[in-house]
Amino acid sequence: MACRVLGWAVPPPPRLTRRFLFIFTLSLSCTYLCYSLLFCCDSLMQSRGLGEHRCLLIRNVGGKKLLQKSPYCSLEGPSPSAASPGAPALSSAPAPAPRLASTNHSGTPKLGTKRLPQAIIVGVKKGGTRAVLEFIRVHPDVRAVGTEPHFFDRNYDRGLDWYRSLMPRTLESQITMEKTPSYFVTKEAPRRIFNMSRDTKLIVVVRNPVTRAISDYTQTLSKKPDIPTFEGLSFRNRSLGLVDMSWNAIRIGMYVVHLESWLQYFPLAQIHFVSGERLITDPAGEMGRVQDFLGIKRVITDKHFYFNKTKGFPCLKKTESSILPRCLGKSKGRTHVQIDPEVIDQLRDFYRPYNIKFYETVGQDFRWE
């Protein structure tokens, strides 16, 4: 860094102690100068609404390591409208807080605090929850945990303080979010989330239960190639058309059954359903509704997406500062399983009454026929 070079360039004074003192003072001043400059620039850019440039600054400060921890760093950070100047709330993963956040000598502005999430993507597995999370965190008023905390299902014993510690730092105006798709099918989750805060906003990404089940199976198969066939696992007696409702891949898709237990704690208005299908065909429209539900400005629009035909999935457009491609969707390498069309028909019949009941309950037709 320029500061250190300066320190070394000074000719050595006669006495060791004096020399040491001199360098010490100099580096202190330099550090101060660097920080002041950084925060000055940062707040200037924010006031101009040049959020994208924040990443470049962050890179200079935190170095390579920090950048890798936060591949979506251009998408994060404080809201341009936030009052507190130059608060580089950085990492989103439950990774160690960035270096700057730990220094709080005079002159360093507040960097926000860790808060329990006000909104949670609670499900469903293979519905498109990752995409919704990555899309919504483009919003400057949203900060999210990158990994799945599994607090309300597997880690509840660790307590709310542990849970909070995983959260990114946020400013007053920002919403903290996380996603763990297994919450939706966890019996205790609604009560536990209600106990944390009855105001928690819940997002559920749903998708045709048949394609969801196949996608779920395909994922499992890629990890455990020895499992029985999809057809074998789906039925207790196929000729009788007896579907095995205890198999998770089937059970998760019985949305209305799980929804009932959420509705015992939360009013329907506090649960927002995202269509996994529309998320692909019209990501901006679907994300518009998510932003409305969260009570934040519609910042994420058409302009943020392009459709990658190879992937068959919408991707986030590259910004100046983003390095990694922000494309999600089907993994290309995944084994493609051929499912007997008759089985698909049988499952469609099986799910039909559940789907209809689900549409009625939420007051929305997802058109999974």
> Which of 69, 110, 126, 201 is flagged as catalytic?
126
HSE-CB for 64 with a 13 A CA cutoff:
0
CA within 13 Å, CB half, 302:
0
Does the annotation flag 276 for ligand binding?
no
DSSP secondary structure string, 175-208? EEEEE-GGGGG-TTHHHHHHHH-TT-EEEEEE--
Nearer to ligand NAG, 195 or 222 (CB): 195
Which residue in 260, 256, 129 sits closest to 187, CA to CA? 260
Nearer to ligand NAG, 310 or 338 (CB): 310
Query: Would you say 334 is a known binding-site residue?
Result: yes
Find the shortest distance in angstroms from Cβ 188 to ligand NAG: 8
Q: Minimal CA–CA distance to 267: which of 177, 194, 338, 356?
A: 194
d(CA 201, CA 290): 11
Round to the nearest angstrom and report the end-to-end CA distance of the chain. 62
* Residue among 101 and 300 whose Cβ is closer to ligand NAG: 101
Distance CA 250, CA 42 (A): 50
Told to check if 308 binds ligand NAG by CB under 6 A, we report yes
56-64, 161-169, 289-297, 304-312 -> range binding ligand NAG (CB under 6 A): 304-312
303 assigned binding-site residue: no
Backbone dihedral region for residue 10 (phi beyond 0: left; psi -120 to 50: alpha; all else: beta): beta
Active-site residue, 318 included: no
Among residues 17, 161, 228, 237, the one that binds ligand NAG under rule CB under 6 A:
237
In the list 59, 164, 278, 311, the residue contacting ligand NAG (rule: CB under 6 A) is 311
Does 49 appear as a known binding residue?
no
**Footprint of ligand NAG on this chain (CB under 6 A)?**
104, 192, 195, 237, 239-240, 308, 310-311, 315, 327, 332
Catalytic residue positions, numbered? 126
Annotated binding site: 126-130, 207, 215, 332-336
Annotated binding site for 3'-phosphoadenylyl sulfate: 126-130, 207, 215, 332-336
